[in-house]
Amino acid sequence: MSFAQQSAHHPSSSAKLPSRTHTCGALHLDQLNQQVRLCGWVAKRRDHGGLIFIDLRDRYGITQVVFEPSCPDFQWAEKLRSEFVIQVTGLVRARPEGMVNPRLSTGTIEVVAQKLNLLSEAQTPPFAIEDETDVAESVRLEYRYLDLRRPYLQRNLVTRHKMLQIVRRHLDENHFIEIETPILYKSTPEGARDFIVPSRLNPGSFYALPQSPQTLKQLLMISGMDRYFQIARCFRDEDLRADRQPEFSQIDIETSFLSEEELFPILESMIQKLWKQILNVDIATPFPRMPYHEAMSRFGSDKPDVRFGLELQDLSDIFAQSGFQVFQNALAKNSRGIAGSVRALVVHPSATSQPSEQFSRKDLDDLTKVAASYGAKGLLWIKVQEGGELQSPAAKFFTDTEKSALKSRLDLKPGSLVLIVADKNKVVFDALGALRLNLGERLGLMPKTDIQNARAQDFAFLWVTRFPLLEFDDKENRYFACHHPFTSPRPEFFDDFIGGKNLDAIEASAYDMVLNGVEVGGGSLRIYRPDVQAAMFKLLGLTEQEAEAKFGFFLQALKYGTPPHGGLAFGVDRLAALLCGVGPIRDVMAFPKTQRGHCVMSSSPSEVDHSQLQELHILTVKSKSS
Amino acid sequence: MSFAQQSAHHPSSSAKLPSRTHTCGALHLDQLNQQVRLCGWVAKRRDHGGLIFIDLRDRYGITQVVFEPSCPDFQWAEKLRSEFVIQVTGLVRARPEGMVNPRLSTGTIEVVAQKLNLLSEAQTPPFAIEDETDVAESVRLEYRYLDLRRPYLQRNLVTRHKMLQIVRRHLDENHFIEIETPILYKSTPEGARDFIVPSRLNPGSFYALPQSPQTLKQLLMISGMDRYFQIARCFRDEDLRADRQPEFSQIDIETSFLSEEELFPILESMIQKLWKQILNVDIATPFPRMPYHEAMSRFGSDKPDVRFGLELQDLSDIFAQSGFQVFQNALAKNSRGIAGSVRALVVHPSATSQPSEQFSRKDLDDLTKVAASYGAKGLLWIKVQEGGELQSPAAKFFTDTEKSALKSRLDLKPGSLVLIVADKNKVVFDALGALRLNLGERLGLMPKTDIQNARAQDFAFLWVTRFPLLEFDDKENRYFACHHPFTSPRPEFFDDFIGGKNLDAIEASAYDMVLNGVEVGGGSLRIYRPDVQAAMFKLLGLTEQEAEAKFGFFLQALKYGTPPHGGLAFGVDRLAALLCGVGPIRDVMAFPKTQRGHCVMSSSPSEVDHSQLQELHILTVKSKSS
């Protein structure tokens, strides 16, 4: 009789002794001498001194099980291999002195087996079930159900679970109602393509999968639900970047009547609970509020990493009269009367380093490439020599007044390194913002967080507020809404907005929550006045008819008594990754896809039967160009 | 200056007095003389004695606001109309004696307005915002954002929210991990068609939307997650019946190692919490376990409504030797050795009714139609006369022995009515089961539940267990799995199953939770042994290659140490409707669709741009036949 046939193959259970009395992470000296029953996977097997030691693993931990020759099932224990699933009945015993494992929660005990019940055999897995692994990710994704046995991924999924429970409990306590919105919905593009679904019952018609529940949550405010939330599944058919997924989850929130300052504390306390309950870290509130313009001018980013300094310095006034063509071009006003700027990063010498020496020609070339990738035509560097002289390819263009102002403004010392970008503001900020982060890494200014021993100072939260409402596109020669066309200007700008004046200066009631240079959430107060909405569409170049055709019923809904409302969405995957202290969001998802939107495990997407397509009244078309 | 221009149009808020100090359902005599600020919709306006009374409504209730001529904003109050959104600042005052409204939680007070801030005007809604309404549902669906202002729907959504929080908290406490599974997945048909999604990045390939996370949750057990749950969105492209939606939510659950009897208590206590916390009703556990065969023979249904009797009576033995052709045919064994039966429902006389008189020719014809709709060739009735004689179209076929046995078995009295169906069992059970419910309604045996004052006896919960594993299809001349091909036979049947013996008698480890004749949840223990799985495919007529092609990677996964596992799914919409005491599931959903899968509000599904289809490499095809 084979092992498979011999064994009961069915977990034994009774009122006295259920299928499992404890998990594999539970037993301690408190349970000494108790008869227990465990279920789990054979993680390791060691034969030693005539005994068989099994590390029995489940989600909760590992328990050492010992088979002694006196055990009636000893011969069966000899057949155990990795990843076999077993049920063991036995007695809890203290491990001998030298065998205690302080790294295991169950490390002081072992279970001496009385009975072994084989539940399932296992083929040899294609990789070992261990946190440390160098098997290619594509293999792990193909065998994701084995990959998910690794404690690393299990811990991440458990953390994600805890996060969701804490979030919901907090919002429930604050009178938010969880409402499920449709996934089979209507195409309303939000900067990415929609996934669409052919309708069999309505040939030629398609549903679209929502990029977010934006219009639906606004409709729920119009319907008076007051406070809404959902862990909403969102879908975007974008060209995937390394850390993007075609579907992802958001903590989606909307409220009525609250100002920004009344909304923020609700979310800050949610963050406090998450950080306290998951990481045991006390996050201070309120978070700093940093207006967009300040974030850009100090850090070159609308999601600044404020864990370190190295702030941007504005040198435009110093070079206002400069004869240097590069600076002149940057500082000249464009056709819309807007000037660029000349800004710099400064790396000062320290006890251990001399940046002017440390940064080689190659380093500067690398930095120049970084700047160039953001559109900068060049990166101007200045090294401060031993005696205070400025060494630079552009040194000859600086007057003595300018050099003097520079030294004074930037507090230059021998050994300092200055990096200058001069261009229109967007290029300057993007380039210097990126360089700042690059330097932050190179110079070890970015703290490394040990998530197991996280401290409050590891986490720099802030709100970035007062985003610009509109962005002028030179190519298309018109304005675009920076966020979406339902984002409201701040009230102090209503008159200008409706009057179409000073458009570049108009600020939105838009806000992002930033953590360590990552945008974890963002939102805005919405337009709820028809005159403001009409002004927005006019500004965006949409006629009334075009707006009707595009947003149809939603514009209708706005006319029936729309409350002031606004909200926010947090990326669940991103937030979970931060709480887990891991990088790629794939590591906090059960079944992620690849960059081409493939699920390697299930081989989807895949072809479907022709008959299925026929029923749906569609045909696939071989593209002429790939 | 128009009203719109005059008003601040922006909720006033300050540290001292926020946008809103109280909801419209909060104020009591406790807040007398306090200055408060409320926001809401004008539900009603009454002008009386020179004063303007506004019923101000939000999700939490209604507060009466009084504008006296001395109020500086009185002239603006005169312009208020239904559904305008306003912010009011004022003082809390006790209502005069005669004006107290005991039906409102705020009915003892009113707010005397000091300041009015108009936030939004409203066009006249197409229907009044009231619970009682006779406007057509199609109009309400088109203006769903107004329909959702009705307290009836708001209460339902709040109840649904509460239900979900209670469910998650309970499962979290029981170590279940909430895991999100993909919606863009692979086609794995489960008795209905898949919705599919063309992939732009993979031309000619499609994702499918999951009909349920069945294989994914099993994979999570294989990966050792031990206990999983999800409020999972499921999609089925079926022909919609009156109360079906193309997408719906399930409480999706899976566990490892637990027997049925270890799993049930977890779910029973979940139900207890729901009924206690939402309806304040104490549900007794454990629920009765009724094997399938008993449910069928006693109630003619695998989801019996056990709130009343009127059980089916088996008369097969009495008519075993009958000369009546109808009975002979029913009782004869078919080619597979299975006989049908002769069964009856008996309605006895009571103090107030004589069924033999009460049921007219027309009534009996109606009942016959019901039976016929389930395949019965006829419905045989017997009326018991005053003196005990049996009046019936078939009376002449009954022997005296049979009549005597009948009277004794069924405890017949003058006035009793007997309804008999004789056929193969499926027809007998379906027909009599349906008749039983029909009679239950007619005779007032089905209790009407007042959900506001629900009592424990209003709710008859039970588990129906030991479902048959296989069903023989006469037309196709082969077996089908009653549930899905991964449902496990009960262990005592393993040998028979693997040996292919006594297949009709094999019971599955499958179970449904039934409430008042409605299946609220169902599931099974899964096959985890490769030999049992292979036997199942063989029985279903699938070759190894066919099984590979169909279930591919999942069969592979099963080979790597699959734990015994099983689970359940509950219909969220159905459960919410039961807890709300409402009928159609549309009334517990925010944005339901019509029977043709239309969202009336957003006009979806809809046509898409040709360019969008081109990008997706698909074409729509005008069908030649509609």
pLDDT digits (tens, 9 = 90+) for B222-256: 999 999 999 999 999 987 677 889 999 999 999 99
Whether the complex's predicted ipTM surpasses the cut of 0.90: yes
Q: How many helices (H) and strands (E) does chain B have?
A: 18, 23
CB atoms within 10 A of CB A174: 15
Question: What is the mean predicted confidence (pLDDT) over A424-440?
Answer: 96
pLDDT at residue A626, rounded to an integer: 40
pLDDT tens per residue across span A172-200: 999 999 999 999 998 765 556 899 999 99
Q: Does the pLDDT of residue B3 top 80, yes or no? A: no
Q: How far is CA B89 from CA A531, B116, B134, B447, in A?
A: 25, 7, 36, 49
Count of beta carbons in the 10 Å neighbourhood of residue A9: 19
- Residue A30 scores a pLDDT above 60: yes
From the list B202, B608, B612, the residue facing A605 with the nearest CB is: B202
**What are the residues facing B570 on neighbouring strands?**
B251, B521
Paired strand residues for B618: A620
Please list the residues that pair with A565 across neighbouring strands. Answer: A256
CA of A371 to nearest chain B CA: how many angstroms apart?
31
Q: What is the pLDDT of residues B464-509, one digit of tens each?
A: 999 999 998 888 888 898 988 899 999 999 999 999 899 999 999 9
- Band of pLDDT at residue B626, cut at 50, 70 and 90: very low
Residue B550 in contact with partner chain A when CB distance is under 8 A: no
How many percent of chain B have pLDDT more than 90?
77
User: What is the per-residue pLDDT across A458-484, written as a single tens digit (0 to 9) for each?
Assistant: 999 999 999 999 998 888 888 898 988
Residue B1 pLDDT greater than 50, yes or no: no
Query: Mind listing the pLDDT tens digit for each residue in A551-569?
Result: 878 989 999 999 999 999 9
CA within 13 Å, CB half, B68: 9
The Cα–Cα gap between B174 and B171 comes to 5
pLDDT at B395 over 70: yes
Each residue's pLDDT tens digit, A57-100: 999 999 999 999 999 999 999 999 999 999 999 999 999 989 99
Specify whether the backbone of A146 is left (phi greater than 0), alpha (psi in -120 to 50) or beta.
Answer: alpha
- Other C-beta atoms lying within 10 Å of the C-beta of residue A521: 22
The angle at the Cα of B517, spanning B516 to B521, to the nearest 5 degrees, equals: 90
Distance of CA A553 to the CA centre of its chain: 33
Rounded average pLDDT over A218-247:
92
Query: Which of chain A's residues have a Cβ under 8 Å away from the Cβ of B14?
Result: none
- Residues within 8 A of B (CB atoms), A 377-416 only: none
Is residue B56 within 8 A of residue B86, CB to CB? The reply is: yes
Distance (Å, whole) CA B262 – CA B274: 20
The yes-or-no verdict on residue A454 having pLDDT over 70 is: yes
pLDDT of residue B143: 97
Looking at per-residue pLDDT, the higher value among B540 and B431 belongs to: B431
Among candidates B145, B205, B256 on the partner chain, residue whose Cβ is nearest the Cβ of A607: B205
Dist. CA A7–CA A76, nearest whole Å: 9
In this prediction, what percent of chain A has a pLDDT beyond 90?
77
What's the pLDDT at A192?
63
DSSP character string of A50-69: TEEEEEEEETTEEEEEEE-T
With a cut of 70, say whether residue B89 has pLDDT above it. Answer: yes
Q: Mean pLDDT over all residues of chain A?
A: 92
CA A448/CA A466 separation, integer angstroms: 30
Amino acid code (one letter) for A218: Q
Angle between helix axes A260-279 and A151-173 (nearest 10 degrees) is: 140
Contact, B508 vs B291, CB < 8 A? Answer: no
Mutate to test the interface with A, among B39, B184, B218, B611 (most CBs of A within 10 A): B184
> In angstroms, rounded to a whole number, what is the distance separating the alpha carbons of residues B351 and B576?
39
According to DSSP, residue B418 is labeled E
| Cβ-defined contacts of B479-485 (< 8 Å, 24+) | B479/B503, B479/B539, B479/B540, B479/B541, B480/B540, B481/B536, B481/B540, B482/B508, B482/B510, B483/B508, B483/B510, B483/B524, B484/B190, B484/B214, B485/B536, B485/B537, B485/B540
pLDDT in the model for residue A189: 53
Evaluate the omega torsion of the peptide bond into residue A288 and state whether it is cis, within 30 degrees of 0: no
Tell me which residues of chain B, numbers 188 to 247, contact chain A at a CB-CB cutoff of 8 Å.
193-209, 216, 219-220, 222-226, 231, 233, 235, 237, 239-240, 246-247
Q: Quick check: pTM over 0.80?
A: yes
Q: Tens digit of pLDDT for each residue in B452-476?
A: 999 999 999 999 999 999 998 888 8
Q: How far apart are CA B290 and CA B295, in angstroms?
A: 6
A187 contacts in chain B (CB < 8 Å): 604, 606, 608, 612
Record the tokens describing residue A560, joined without a space. Answer: 């029936």
Percent of chain A with pLDDT over 70: 96
The predicted structure's pLDDT at residue A380 = 96
Q: Is A44 on the interface with B (CB under 8 A)?
A: no
- Give pLDDT, residue B189: 53
Q: Can you tell me the distance from the alpha carbon of B60 to that of B119, in angstroms, rounded to the nearest whole number?
A: 19
Which ranges constitute the DSSP H helices of A280-412?
Answer: 292-299, 325-331, 355-358, 361-373, 400-410
CB contact under 8 A, A119 and B563: yes
- Structure confidence at residue A532 (pLDDT): 87
What is the tens place of the pLDDT at every residue in A364-414?
999 999 999 999 999 999 999 998 899 999 999 999 999 999 999 999 999
The shortest CB-CB distance from B219 to any of A84, A145, A494 is to: A145
* Cα four-point dihedral sign B364, B370, B374, B375: positive
Q: Is the predicted pLDDT of residue A625 greater than 60, yes or no?
A: no
A254: pLDDT strictly greater than 90: yes
Q: At which residue do the structure tokens 């932050």 appear?
A: A440
B498 and chain A: CB distance < 8 Å anywhere?
Answer: no
Dist CA A6 CA A10 (whole Å): 11
Structural domains of chain A in order of their starting residue, each with its CATH number: 3-120 (2.40.50.140), 132-291+568-603 (3.30.930.10), 308-446 (3.30.1360.30)
**Which helix or strand (DSSP H or E) is residue B161 part of?**
helix B151-173
Gap from A536 CA to chain B (nearest CA, Å): 17
Phi, psi for residue B51 in degrees, rounded to 5: -105, 155
Nearest to B223 among A149, A182, A193 (CB): A149
**A521 CA to centre of own chain:** 9
B605: preceding bond cis by omega (within 30 degrees): yes
> If you average pLDDT over residues B556-579, what whole number do you get?
96
pLDDT on residue B625: 44
Calculate how close chain A gets to B393, using CA atoms only, in Å: 47
How do beta strands A247-256 and A565-571 pair? antiparallel
Interchain proximity A125–B617, CB inside 8 Å? no
**Closest in A59, A208, A612 to B226, CB measured:** A59
Q: State whether B553 and A87 contact (CB < 8 Å).
A: no
Encode pLDDT of A585-616 as tens digits: 999 999 999 988 999 999 999 888 888 888 88
